[in-house]
Amino acid sequence: MRLPGDDASVRRMGTAALAGVLVFVLVCSAVQFLRADLDWMRTPLSFYLIDAYGGWVRVAYGLLSVTLGLIGVGYYRVLTPQARSGVARALFVLAGLALAVTASAETQRPRQALTTAGTVHAIAAPLAFLFVTMGMLLQSWCLRGDAQWRARFAPAFILAVACFAALWGHALWRSAPRGLTQKAVILLILAWLALAAYWLRRLAPASREPVVLSGKVATGDG
């Protein structure tokens, strides 16, 4: 059963999530040029969290972590009950939490003794990738269960599969430039998140047309 105003709140979630993705793209793209001391093809994004402009990158990470939660909660609220997945919602929330930990725990610097923060970062970062890609796959699959969203299943699922495959390619292809392969995975994930946020922003208002029954307004959810 949907509550009055759900569409408006989900639409705001989509708008906020899309803004979070765009800020992340802008900030993290800018530092690729501003950090001339780092080789963007070989340096993973984690190293841009420290030293010059690291504060801006941490803010972008924080906004993206909120974005992940908004998408998980937004799709849980907008889909019909039979299409909802509490597991997908939880995966997005966990991905957001793992990303926040990744940003707050400084990555291990080269040629320095192992630190607790470095260990935490090394655990949280892959968990964030794993949680979000699994959430994307499951959420995309769930779109099949809602007639209003079923047409979005194919593009969402294909892109989610590409993200999942790219993630494992990055993990297993150790000889490739680590920065390049990691950022390729991130760009694919951001593309899925942007698309999902855009759909929430644009389609949530029309997802349930009100029906007047005996002088009462019903949402069509049954």
Q: How far is CA 214 from CA 2, 124, 141, 211, in A?
A: 19, 54, 36, 10
pLDDT higher than 70, residue 204 = no
What pLDDT does 24 receive?
98
pTM greater than the 0.85 cutoff: yes
What percent of the chain shows pLDDT beyond 90? 85
pLDDT higher than 90, residue 210 = no
What percent of the chain shows pLDDT beyond 70? 89
Report DSSP letters for 103-166, one per residue: HHSPPPPTTS---HHHHHHHHHHHHHHHHHHHHHHHHHHHGGG-TTTGGGHHHHHHHHHHHHHH
209 vs 182, residue with greater confidence: 182
What pLDDT does 6 receive?
73
Element (H, E) at 217: strand 216-218
- Give the CA dihedral 64, 68, 70, 76, nearest 10 degrees: 170
pLDDT higher than 60, residue 214 = no
pLDDT higher than 60, residue 8 = yes
Quick count: other Cβ atoms within 10 Å of Cβ 139?
Answer: 27
All structural domains of the chain with their residue ranges:
6-218
95-98 own/partner pairs: CB under 8 Å, 24+ apart: 95/65, 95/68, 95/127, 95/128, 95/131, 95/132, 95/135, 96/64, 96/65, 96/66, 96/67, 96/68, 96/69, 96/72, 97/65, 98/124, 98/125, 98/127, 98/128, 98/131
Q: Check if the beta carbon of residue 177 is closer than 8 Å to that of residue 169.
A: no
Of 52, 46, 158, nearest to 102 (Cα)? 46
Average pLDDT taken over every residue of the chain: 91
**What pLDDT band is residue 217 in, cutting at 50, 70 and 90?**
very low
What pLDDT does 65 receive?
98
Please write the tens of the pLDDT for every residue from 18-70.
999 999 999 999 999 999 999 999 999 999 999 999 999 999 999 999 999 99
**What pLDDT band is residue 1 in, cutting at 50, 70 and 90?**
very low
